[in-house]
Amino acid sequence: MAKKLLQDMVKTRNEVKKVPMKVEKPRPFFKEDISLYSPLPTETENNTRRYGLWVIALLALVFLFFAVSFLFTGAKITVNPKTKNIDLDQTMNAIKDSTDDTVLPYDLVTINGTETKNVQGGEAVDVASKAEGKVLIYNAYNATPQNFSANTRLLGSNGKIYKTESKITVPGMADDGTPGSAEVSIAGEVAGVEYNSAPLDFKIASFKGTSKYSKIYAESEGNITGGLKGKYAQISDDQKSTTITDLRNTLQADLFKKVTNQIPDGYILFKDAVFLKDDGGNVGVSSTDDTMVPVTLTGTLYGLLFQEQKLSDTIVKENIPDDTSNDIYISNVKALTFSLVDKENVSFKDVTSINFTLTGSAEAVWKVDTDKLIGDLLGKSKGDFNQILSSYTNIASADSVVEPVWAMSFPDKSEKINVFVNYPK
């Protein structure tokens, strides 16, 4: 038995085979493996690091805020100018188209117009009336005045004869060759609509064949109207008077609106500085089958136009004579009441000088030199504001706002200071 065992053992040893060794490759390095070599930071250390980062970020934001705020620094000044109310009741003189700086000038504006209204007439009656108008007779013959009697016959360029209604003397020609002239009313030689006409030229019939015929002549001023003959509907005198009054009001309002739309900036046309001169109105004729009677009014509106600045300066000069160092103006000059002196006797066509009064409560306002004020504030301490302001006699009060609020002085650049003046509107 023992032998067999030994034999088995030998056999087993001889049967052992060589087995190759397996060599494992090194595995990759991972972050988790750090724990194998260094300890993890504690929670306290992590919090400290986070707080430090927050402090740095906050300081950066504060620095950035202050840097940006100083980029947008600025100042706003709100000024209330000095004002004074003047109880005005002043008479003034003005010269037409004057260029003299020592006098007040005015301009004369004119505009023409016509208004017509149809009025219900009464029963048709026989009418016979002569056409009427006005003419200017000119004397370009010599320097000797020329006399004309009433009913002097004038030959119109329409071939009709008209007669003067009164005697007249026409002045002789001036030394510079300007013809003398005089106005006179005329009427058609006989009644009839055929004598009604637009403006005409005339010759003196009695001068025909003489050297005066071409040198003494006449021109009509406006239309020649009113000639009638036949049966026409009529209106009463009351109807005529009422209608003409309505037409006059309408015409004046219409012409005033038209002329005010043409006034250039810087000029004033007071409502009471316009005057309408009209032809008194003319009653037309209806047709034979119509009882509506046309009433027509033609007129010229004269307006006295003033330069607002020069008128304001004149008021200031007369009412605040001691303050010559400041620029002062009247803010509500257009609201004052205008009244022409002796307007009934003023011939607007020929007048060159007028007297008028202005009444009302005038508000004088002192202008502020904003550029000078900005220059005085540049770089100055905010605490010096009131002291700087005290040197301005044309300022009643003022407020300042400087940004940022912690800035201790006004900006040192003029474009960063804005001044707003509360001038009356």
Where do the domains of the chain lie?
40-70, 74-82+367-421, 127-231
27: burial class by Cβ within 10 Å (0-12, 13-18, 19+)?
Answer: exposed
Residue 217 and residue 203 in contact, taking contact as beta carbons nearer than 8 Å: yes
367 near 327, Cβ under 8 Å?
A: yes
- Which residues share a beta bridge with 134? 185
**Whether the model pTM is above 0.75:** no
3-state secondary structure 265-325: CCEECCHHHEEEEECCCEECCCCCCCCEEEEEEEEEEEEEEEEHHHHHHHHHHHHCCCCCC
Q: State what percent of residues in the chain have pLDDT above 90.
A: 68
Q: What is the pLDDT of residues 34-80, one digit of tens each?
A: 444 455 566 666 666 667 667 676 666 655 555 545 555 799 999 99
Report pLDDT digits (tens) over 218-276.
999 989 988 888 888 888 999 999 999 999 999 999 999 999 999 999 999 999 999 99
For the chain, what is the total number of helices (H) and then of strands (E)?
6, 22
- Alpha carbon 50 to chain centroid, angstroms: 68
Q: What is the pLDDT of residues 271-329, one digit of tens each?
A: 999 999 998 998 877 765 678 899 999 999 999 999 999 999 999 999 999 888 889 99
- Euclidean distance between CA atoms 276 and 303, whole angstroms: 9
Residue type, position 178, single letter? T
